[in-house]
Amino acid sequence: MRSWRGVRSLLLFAVVVFAPAAAPCQQADRGETPAEPVARQPVEKQKRVLGIIPNNRTYPSLVHYEPISAKEKFKIATGDSFDRGTVVLAAAFAGEGQLTRSNPSFGQGVAGYARYFGTAYADLVIGDYMTEGVFPTLLHEDPRYFRRGTGRAWSRVLYAMGQIFWGYRNSGRRGFNFSEIGGNAAAVAISNAYYPDNRDPASAAAKLGTQVGVDMAGNILKEFWPDIVGKLGRKKK
């Protein structure tokens, strides 16, 4: 699976680049609640972050919250899994894995890269279906990411990271995000079937940390992307 070093780089990029860049767009924190939407551009129209990362499950706010059906949850998972951006991400992770020889049994060359790519893409697809479709349906949780959109940049970073562990249920109430943690744990367990190397508890824990770290970085990017798009739009005008 993807290395923790790559995840740390992605998290660092998300926090250092996006949070400060969005800061000028924010007002001082005046007690707004996370449910107050101030997005300058409808999030629904921004299907990708950075033109690559799928953005199908981001929702602008919790105002007038309505739960989604199991069918809609699996539709989100399918959209994320078979998006061209997911293929690009899998190709990038495969290249990183081959360069670091994270799975020596895969070998090198074109054949080795094909194995790295196939397993990296499988990681993404299985993870999406487990965290956005299967577990949310079974546990009656909402897999969507609800933007805060207000407040100071660093408070929004913490909010985005925190939603990985403390999510929303179909009732609209908050609670521990079993779908995120349990879904990724299930994906890691399944991955042992196609990863011949490092099948031990320590490696499994590292893989789970990687999966959760990638999703955490994704939340930060999704939180600030509409602000970046709005700021760039004003500069063009």
Q: What's residue 183's pLDDT?
A: 96
pLDDT of 158 above 60: yes
Q: What is the mean pLDDT of residues 62-74?
A: 90
In the chain, the largest separation of any two C-alpha atoms, in whole Å, equals 56
For the stretch 181-194, pLDDT in tens is 999 999 999 999 99
Claim: this prediction has a pTM higher than 0.85? no
pLDDT of 65 above 80: yes
Q: How far is CA 58 from CA 28, 181, 219, in A?
A: 24, 18, 9
For the stretch 110-149, pLDDT in tens is 999 999 999 999 999 999 999 999 999 999 999 999 998 8
For the stretch 224-234, pLDDT in tens is 988 888 777 66
Helix (H) or strand (E) run with residue 224 in it: helix 201-236
